[in-house]
Chains A and B, each alone.
Chain A
Amino acid sequence: MVSFKKPDLDSFQERIHIATLFVTFCFLLLITRLVWLQLVSHGKYALLAESNRIALVPAPANRGLLIDRNGIVIGRNYSALTLDVNAEEVKGNVDQLINDLSEIIAISPRDRRNFKRSLEDSRNMGTFPLRSMLNETETARFMANRYRFPGVEIRARSFREYPYNELASHLIGYIGRVSQRDKERMQAEIEGAKADDPDALQASFLPGIQYVGKIGLEQSYETVLRGVPGYDQVEITAGGKPVRTLSSAPSVPGKNVVLSVDIKLQYLVEQLYGNFRGAFVAIEPETGDVLAFVSKPNFNPNDFVEGIDSVTWKELNDSPQKPLYNRPLKGIYPPGSTYKPFMALAALENKKRTPSQSISDPGYFDFGNHTFRDDKKGGHGIVDMQKSIVESCDTYYYMLARDMGVNMMHDFMKPLGFGQITGIDLQGEARGVLPSTEWKKNTFKKPEQQKWYEGETISLGIGQGYNAFTILQLAHAMANVANNGIVMKPHLVKAIEDPFTRNRVLTTPKESYRIDLNAENIEVIKKAMLEVNISGTSAAAFKGTGYQVGGKTGTAQVFSLNSKEYKHGSTAEFLRDHALYIAFAPAEKPTIVIAMVVENAGFGAQYAAPIARKALDFYIEGKWPKEIPEWKRAP
């Protein structure tokens, strides 16, 4: 027995020794690993631990204000309490959290959608508003239940607000949350800026930029309005919860933008349009200041700031009225008879007509085997230049167009700005079409389409045919004539204001160029246009003005916007003619010119001229029409 046990114990003890060796080996392995981590790589990991725990928390900059030419604020910020949720805390059970919260605080489906979208966009990092503008009761109720919602807190945030809602929406535009595309674009901008200016580095703190101008002035003056976001260096947990602030760099608020627009005039015109669609641009000819820039119908930019809800968006987008369409900037219309004063000036400058030279108008004009009709049956009789404008005689301009030819017209109209980008400080301006033989050759593909037919020239004389311009271009051309050929770039913003010192830096562009026009010729045209409002087509609308005003009506056949077909029952309405009107006043030294269109309204004299009259009465004499609700400053 004993002899049996003895070797067994030996062999066991031998194996215990081997096990001890094995254990020792494994422990040495661990020690090696720990020495590697804690001595050899200590520097690297210490650095990693440091960068781990420090995060830059953006401190957004206050956005600059939008102020009209008389100091009325039309784009501002306000501070409101917001329910903020830390994305890391709610991973996975967003709906549950929102359901629980909605027992205390009203949370609309829209809030829910917007919040979830922010979460998705952000890849679950950072803090996002779930509900804004909490009232006192809601705040108190949440604070009482706060313990139930880790990661949810109430914070004061700055929000963009357009106090007049729809007013001037197309020119103001709106801001919205930064999208991935915005980020990439800004990154490129910043890198470009850095190459020129090493100090631009600070502006590169992109995460601090949460909102960006999407359209309108908010977009085109984005870099001015935005300011430079600051940041706090904060010690954070892995979940992104801040523990304490280590240091901070203050933000630099954006600058205020002072508009050349008179917002009261803008308001009046928008009211005057009522339910009509259309565009209206008023310019101060001497400076190029745009005084009003109306697009009707409009939309409420406040709806877009925190992300528009899909129902409102669908409504706006699908409406046949196209409320999102910036008509003065992008809508192109044939100018119709408003083109005639410019044609007459072209005739004088090119010596194709003298003011007294007359034609006999039988009511039609035959060219080739086509008959071009006048709108007055039986014709206007003997017609000189002034009468051709006052009575809007088509035949006079059919003949003039034939005598000038398409290229002479083009060459005269081009410097006036027709069919050209005006360079206004908004993005997305339409160019329109100022036809010429070259234009046709470049535009069409097939050789037979590229050829210019003489017959196509005739209707150009009355502002039809291929002619297609924006209302902005029409106003710009009117301003250039009213300003005796000195071309001022139209602009919506006059100055940039420092938010602290209130110092203003003018941004108004200097004169662009000068068109060599004969002053006498301009006088002829202006005089004829004054007569239009005394005895001509729009005399009724301008009866009894206390100032002298020149104008010209126009009626344009419809090329509907975007040439999209309307499906609704109102098709007939959408086929009605557009009513146009241009004007300048006062005659001696114009301080305002107007170009406008009332879509599908019918005759220009009947629908457009009365609006222009009231706008001018207000701008020149300060008269406010009785039927329009009074202007009230936003609280």
Chain B
Amino acid sequence: MEKSPLIKVKGFFFGIFAGLDRQLGLILLGLAAVGFFTFLSASQNTPVQIADELRNLALSFVVMWLVSRIPPKWLEMGAVWIYGFGVALLIAVAAFGLIKKGARRWLNIGIVIQPSEIMKIAMPLMLAWYFQKREGIQKSWDYGVAAIILAIPVFLIARQPDLGTALLVFAAGMYVIILAGLPWKWILPFVGLGVIGILLIIIFGGTICAHDVVWPFVHDYQKHRICTLLDPTSDPLGKGFHTIQSMIAIGSGGFFGKGWFQGTQAHLEFIPEKHTDFVFAVFSEEFGLLGNLVLLALFFALIKRGLTISASAPNLFTRLLGAAVTLIFFTYAFVNIGMVSGLLPVVGVPLPFISYGGTALVTLGFGAGILMSIHRHRRLVQS
């Protein structure tokens, strides 16, 4: 019997989505919807095009779909090349990169690119490849090699200077190293030191933030950011302005929010970067705590799903890569919301799938594609 045209279309439809993780897809669609509605409100009175945002979202899903078709084996084979290429670009940046606003981060190769972005994916790829290669014969010094693989790009990015990106790349690498089995006795002292350090900064913030105190290893502007976080009112019209205004936006949203398009803070231009890094403040003001709980639930579901996919992945490479990508999503979301709500210093990190911005959406789509691919190819490898 001839198949009816409807069945044909249906078949094609399911065909292109075959093997995609339905849960992950629905979560991402949910996030993209939240992002789009918030964008509509945030872009009022600004020349950002709705068409641009739709195109970026579409592009992100197309990239995700394409990457989901790539067998993880190919990624494994390309890992060293991608990593090597990224590091080469970083060296090129250090040698003859463009300087903007006092930082050397960009490379002009016909179009201006920022190679540190590549490292966000290249780093977990490379380390996952390395641990996969050393699987079963793993020695203590493998962590030393991993540390070197991690340190080179992080160092290059940090001295651009771009501390925010360096920390993200470092975190992405550390997730792989820790998940690969870095002994707890090596991790815990650092966690302890970190906690003590944060406590010290909070307690002695007033003293160390005094004008004439010079911090070792950090730039003045970085010190300024941390100090502003500790006391936003210390610089109400400068760096603290962003934090104060976004806290006002979030706080004034209350439980139910002011309603879509009703945020005064957002619409009266008190929120900086309101479609990009600070878009959470717009969402939060208009949809309140209720909206935030829904959004956090979506993110949590995304992370949970990503970790589940990783846990059932067929080999060490896919497990490490999947988990690292998932934890990068988590880091983005946590750092962004933490920064906008005044919990963390202001660093340029987008809110995954919500913030406007083509590059970030494509990178995130790529990451989601990796997870899809791992999920899609799990049986193929196992069987």
Q: Which A residues are closer than 8 A to B by beta carbons?
A: 4-5, 8, 11-13, 15-16, 19-20, 23-24, 26-27, 29-31, 33-35, 37-39, 41-42, 44-46, 48-50, 52-53, 235-239, 241, 243
Q: Do residues B300 and A27 form an inter-chain contact, with CB atoms below 8 A?
A: yes
Q: Which B residues are closer than 8 A to A by beta carbons?
A: 135-136, 175, 178-179, 181, 245, 247-255, 264-265, 268-270, 284, 288-289, 292-293, 296, 299-300, 303-304, 307, 310-311, 316, 319, 323, 327, 330, 334, 337-338, 341-343
16 residue pairs A–B, Cβ–Cβ below 8 Å: A12-B319, A13-B311, A15-B179, A19-B323, A20-B303, A23-B303, A26-B334, A30-B337, A33-B343, A45-B247, A45-B251, A46-B254, A49-B248, A49-B265, A50-B264, A53-B268
Counting residue pairs across A and B whose Cβ atoms lie within 8 Å, the total is 128
Q: Do residues A45 and B135 form an inter-chain contact, with CB atoms below 8 A?
A: no
Who on chain A is nearest to B297 by CB? A27
Q: Do residues B252 and A27 form an inter-chain contact, with CB atoms below 8 A?
A: no
Neighbouring B residues of A35 by C-beta, 8 Å: 289
Q: Do residues B255 and A38 form an inter-chain contact, with CB atoms below 8 A?
A: yes
The listed residue with most A CB atoms (<10 A of its CB), out of B251, B255, B323, B337, is B251
Neighbouring A residues of B293 by C-beta, 8 Å: 31
Report how far A342 CA is from B33 CA in the complex, Å: 98
Q: Nearest Cβ in chain A — how far from B238, in angstroms?
A: 13
Supplied contacts A16-B179, A16-B323, 19 more A-B pairs, CB within 8 Å: A5-B136, A12-B316, A13-B311, A15-B178, A15-B179, A16-B307, A20-B307, A31-B293, A31-B296, A38-B251, A46-B251, A48-B252, A50-B252, A50-B264, A52-B245, A53-B264, A53-B270, A235-B264, A238-B269
Q: Nearest Cβ in chain A — how far from B303, in angstroms?
A: 5
Neighbouring A residues of B270 by C-beta, 8 Å: 52-53, 237-238
Report how far A44 CA is from B253 CA in the complex, Å: 11
What are the 10 tightest A-B residue pairs by CB atom distance, in nearest-first order?
A: A45-B251, A49-B252, A237-B269, A38-B289, A37-B251, A238-B270, A45-B252, A46-B252, A237-B268, A42-B254
Neighbouring A residues of B316 by C-beta, 8 Å: 8, 12
Who on chain B is nearest to A9 by CB? B319
Neighbouring B residues of A48 by C-beta, 8 Å: 248, 251-252
Q: Do residues A34 and B289 form an inter-chain contact, with CB atoms below 8 A?
A: yes
Q: Nearest Cβ in chain B — how far from A487, in angstroms?
A: 59
Q: Nearest Cβ in chain A — how far from B259, in angstroms?
A: 14
Who on chain A is nearest to B310 by CB? A16
Neighbouring A residues of B303 by C-beta, 8 Å: 20, 23
Q: Do residues B311 and A16 form an inter-chain contact, with CB atoms below 8 A?
A: yes
Q: Do residues B265 and A52 form an inter-chain contact, with CB atoms below 8 A?
A: yes
Report how far A52 CA is from B249 CA in the complex, Å: 10
Neighbouring B residues of A26 by C-beta, 8 Å: 330, 334
Who on chain B is nearest to A11 by CB? B181
Given A30-B338, A38-B292, A42-B254, check contact A23 B268 (CB 8 Å). no
Neighbouring A residues of B304 by C-beta, 8 Å: 20
Report how far A420 CA is from B310 CA in the complex, Å: 99
Secondary structure dominating the interface of B: helix
Given A30-B337, A30-B341, A237-B268, check contact A37 B178 (CB 8 Å). no
Neighbouring A residues of B343 by C-beta, 8 Å: 29-30, 33
Q: Do residues B311 and A12 form an inter-chain contact, with CB atoms below 8 A?
A: yes
Report how far A133 CA is from B53 CA in the complex, Å: 46
Q: Nearest Cβ in chain A — how far from B23, in angstroms?
A: 16
Given A16-B323, A26-B330, check contact A38 B288 (CB 8 Å). yes
Q: Do residues A38 and B334 form an inter-chain contact, with CB atoms below 8 A?
A: no
Who on chain A is nearest to B319 by CB? A12
Q: Nearest Cβ in chain A — how far from B208, in angstroms?
A: 23
Who on chain A is nearest to B265 by CB? A49
Q: Nearest Cβ in chain A — how far from B134, in angstroms?
A: 12
Report how far A241 CA is from B334 CA in the complex, Å: 34
Report how far A241 CA is from B300 CA in the complex, Å: 40
Report how far A278 CA is from B289 CA in the complex, Å: 79
Report how far A30 CA is from B335 CA in the complex, Å: 10
Q: Nearest Cβ in chain B — how far from A47, in angstroms?
A: 8
Q: Among A5, A29, A33, A42, which residue has its beta carbon within 8 angstroms of that of B252? A: A42
Q: Nearest Cβ in chain B — how far from A8, in angstroms?
A: 7
Report how far A49 CA is from B251 CA in the complex, Å: 9
Neighbouring B residues of A42 by C-beta, 8 Å: 251-255
Neighbouring B residues of A238 by C-beta, 8 Å: 245, 268-270
Q: Among A4, A37, A53, A241, which residue has its beta carbon within 8 angstroms of that of B341? A: A37
Q: Nearest Cβ in chain A — how far from B15, in angstroms?
A: 32
Given A30-B296, A237-B270, check contact A44 B251 (CB 8 Å). yes
Neighbouring A residues of B181 by C-beta, 8 Å: 8, 11-12, 15
Given A33-B341, A238-B270, A243-B268, check contact A38 B284 (CB 8 Å). yes
Report how far A48 CA is from B248 CA in the complex, Å: 7
Neighbouring A residues of B341 by C-beta, 8 Å: 30, 33-34, 37
Q: Do residues A38 and B253 form an inter-chain contact, with CB atoms below 8 A?
A: yes
Report how far A4 CA is from B310 CA in the complex, Å: 19
The listed residue with most B CB atoms (<10 A of its CB), out of A8, A13, A35, A38, is A38
Neighbouring A residues of B284 by C-beta, 8 Å: 34, 38
Neighbouring B residues of A20 by C-beta, 8 Å: 303-304, 307
Neighbouring A residues of B253 by C-beta, 8 Å: 38, 42
Neighbouring A residues of B342 by C-beta, 8 Å: 33, 37
Q: Nearest Cβ in chain A — how far from B328, in angstroms?
A: 12
Q: Nearest Cβ in chain A — how far from B342, in angstroms?
A: 8
Given A23-B330, A34-B289, A42-B254, check contact A239 B269 (CB 8 Å). yes
Q: Do residues B250 and A38 form an inter-chain contact, with CB atoms below 8 A?
A: yes
Q: Do residues A41 and B251 form an inter-chain contact, with CB atoms below 8 A?
A: yes
Report how far A522 CA is from B304 CA in the complex, Å: 112
